[in-house]
């Protein structure tokens, strides 16, 4: 009940602010030229039954990204269950990320050791997804997405004689949404969850090659502390928009970790406000390819038993000229698994910590190029019980135990969008750093390089 009250409180605060603030009206979008208008009419026929806010919104938005001035809301405004000749819709597609990567061996913590930092090489499909979705009514949509269930991807070599070649697909997303109004929708089933924007982005429009590396440490597989499925959880999400679709709220109740089938549900709440253009898709974009003016701030909370996580984020995608846009995406989260003495806690699995994520970039429309820079820091501040130390352990031992868990990544890359979201290639170089004791008993950082070249193919 504590989780329910806290989540509901956050939601009510946001709704009260929405009622108190005077609404503003978005100016009309510019007229489209004849070729674009014809293309618009084709897509309007395909999505005329689709209402604002579903998971399909994100993928259909990518498909029509070249149609400036067309929004899903406009395409759907004329459609409802009373429209003559309404028929259910169906769409299918695929997302493939083919990767060639190099991983450098880490140096030794002993500065006198003769350790060569040689490079390992890998060729694999990092993502292989099939996408299906549609509408059964003007207000009810469904979405299913499959994935190859390997953390590293199809073709990954384990460092011995084995490789992940024969992989059976799994269901990644399976959800149904019913939209009662712009202000209230219900989404039920297996779905992407999170408290910040990066956790809720779609993989096809990411700025870099992947999500923040530390955003899914505890939600990646069923063996993770929160027992998720690649960031997905099963439950019910309440979602809606106010202030001309500028203020978005999400309040969800999910299975989370299962202790004895008697523990509390996982509660996730989030508020997000868009100051410029609006976003109504269930998944957020990472690079609109110059087609949107976006500036948003958001905050969220995630709770289950003794576990709590709080986060805040900001996003900017702003054209500064006809041919150049600036991009920025940042978030800061604080996690604490709780007191190990609590029967429903994750204190030893998720020690107290903070996660900083940031990425900045540019998009040159005429050159179809997007350089980007990424930084991530995962800093631990767990107590003695969470880190498995005796109560008698001194402050130096506690400090070292936390420092050994600290990890960070920094680097950048370049993306060439030779066919927008449908086909692009990204090259990224990152240095990631972990920590270890050196022979003198001091904690030192051990950094290695990671080179990643990724080809994206997307159809929907």
Q: How far apart are CA 380 and CA 401, in angstroms?
A: 9
The DSSP call for residue 85 is: T
Task: Report the alpha-carbon distance of residue 34 to residue 44 in Å, rounded.
Answer: 15
State pLDDT tens for residues 203-237.
999 999 999 888 888 888 888 899 998 899 999 99
Strand 184-192 to strand 294-304: parallel, antiparallel, or no bridges (unpaired)? unpaired
Does the pLDDT value for residue 399 go beyond 50? yes
420 bridge partner residues: 418
277: CB partners within 8 A, 6+ apart: 26, 292, 293, 294
CA torsion sign for 457, 94, 287, 356 is negative
Segment 194-205 shows an average pLDDT of 94
C-alpha angle 177/235/343, rounded to 5°?
165
pLDDT at 259: 87
For residue 177, give every residue at least 6 positions away whose Cβ sits within 8 Å of its Cβ, in sequence order, or none.
53, 54, 55, 140, 141, 142, 143, 185, 186, 187, 188, 282
Of 125, 118, 127, residue with least CA distance to 159: 118
What is the CB-side half-sphere exposure of residue 372 using CA atoms within 13 A? 29
Average pLDDT value for residue range 295-324: 96
**Domains in the chain: ranges and CATH:** 2-9+42-157+167-459 (2.40.160.10)
Residue whose entry in the numeric block shows the structure tokens 């100016």: 27
Dump pLDDT digits (tens) for 331-359.
Answer: 999 999 999 888 899 999 999 999 999 99
The DSSP output letter for 204 is G
Band (pLDDT 50/70/90 cuts) for residue 144 is very high
pLDDT beyond 50 at 25:
no
User: Is it the case that residue 66 has pLDDT exceeding 80?
Assistant: no
Q: Do the Cβ atoms of 280 and 245 come closer than 8 Å?
A: yes
DSSP secondary structure string for all residues of 371-419 = EEEEEEEEEE---TTTTT--TT--HHHHHHHHHTT-EEEEEEEEEEEEE
How would residue 27 be classed by pLDDT, with cut points 50, 70 and 90? very low
Please say if the pLDDT value at position 61 is more than 80: no
Q: How far apart are CA 403 and CA 367, in angstroms?
A: 43
DSSP for 294-316?
Answer: EEEEEEEEEEETTEEEEEEEEEE
Considering the entire predicted model, what is its pTM? 0.82
Average pLDDT over residues 267-295: 94
Of the candidates 320, 420, 315, 313, the one whose C-alpha atom is nearest the C-alpha of residue 362 is: 320
286's CB contacts (< 8 A; 6+ apart) are 201, 202, 205, 206, 207, 327, 329
User: How many Å apart are CA 284 and CA 173, to the nearest integer?
Assistant: 16
- The residue-averaged pLDDT of 271-288 equals 93
pLDDT confidence of residue 248? 97
Burial 10-48 (b: 16+ CB within 10 A, else e): bbeebbeebeeeeeeeeeeeeebeeeeeeebeebbeebb
């Amino acid at each position: 009940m504590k989780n329910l009250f806290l989540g509901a409180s956050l939601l009510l605060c946001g709704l009260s602010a929405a009622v108190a603030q005077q609404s503003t009206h978005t100016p009309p979008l510019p007229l489209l030229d004849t070729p674009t208008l014809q293309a618009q009419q084709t897509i309007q026929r395909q999505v005329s039954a689709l209402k604002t806010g579903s998971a399909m919104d994100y993928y259909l938005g990518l498909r029509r990204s070249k149609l400036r001035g067309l929004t899903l809301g406009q395409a759907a405004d004329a459609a409802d269950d009373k429209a003559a000749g309404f028929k259910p819709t169906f769409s299918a597609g695929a997302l493939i990320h083919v990767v060639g990567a190099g991983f450098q061996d880490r140096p030794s913590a002993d500065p006198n050791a003769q350790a060569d930092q040689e490079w390992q090489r890998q060729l694999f499909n990092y993502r292989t997804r099939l996408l299906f979705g549609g509408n059964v009514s003007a207000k009810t949509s469904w979405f299913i997405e499959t994935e190859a269930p390997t953390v590293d991807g199809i073709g990954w070599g384990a460092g011995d004689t084995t490789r992940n070649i024969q992989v059976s697909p799994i269901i990644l997303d399976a959800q149904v949404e019913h939209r009662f109004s712009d202000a209230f929708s219900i989404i039920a089933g297996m779905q992407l969850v999170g408290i910040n924007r990066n956790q809720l982005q779609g993989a096809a429009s990411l700025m870099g090659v992947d999500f923040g590396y530390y955003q899914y440490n505890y939600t990646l597989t069923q063996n993770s502390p929160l027992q998720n499925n690649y960031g997905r959880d099963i439950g019910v999400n309440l979602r809606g928009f106010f202030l001309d679709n500028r203020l978005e709220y999400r309040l969800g109740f999910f299975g989370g970790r299962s202790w004895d089938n008697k523990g509390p549900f996982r509660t996730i709440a989030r508020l997000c406000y868009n100051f410029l253009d609006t976003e109504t898709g269930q998944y957020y974009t990472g690079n609109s390819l110059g087609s949107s003016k976006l500036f948003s701030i958001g905050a969220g909370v995630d709770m289950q038993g003794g576990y709590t996580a709080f986060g805040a984020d900001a996003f900017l995608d702003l054209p500064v000229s006809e041919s150049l846009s600036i991009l920025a995406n940042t978030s800061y989260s604080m996690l604490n698994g709780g007191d190990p003495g609590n029967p429903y806690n994750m204190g030893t699995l998720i020690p107290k910590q903070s996660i900083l994520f940031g990425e900045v970039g540019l998009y040159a429309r005429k050159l179809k190029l997007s350089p980007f820079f990424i930084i991530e820091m995962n800093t631990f501040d767990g107590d003695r019980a969470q880190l498995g130390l005796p109560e008698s352990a001194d402050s130096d031992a506690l400090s070292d135990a936390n420092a050994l868990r600290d990890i960070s990544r920094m680097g950048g890359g370049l993306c060439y969008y030779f066919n927008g979201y449908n086909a692009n290639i990204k090259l990224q170089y990152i240095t990631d750093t972990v920590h270890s004791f050196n022979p003198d008993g001091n904690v030192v950082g051990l950094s290695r390089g990671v080179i990643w070249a990724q080809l994206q193919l997307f159809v929907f």
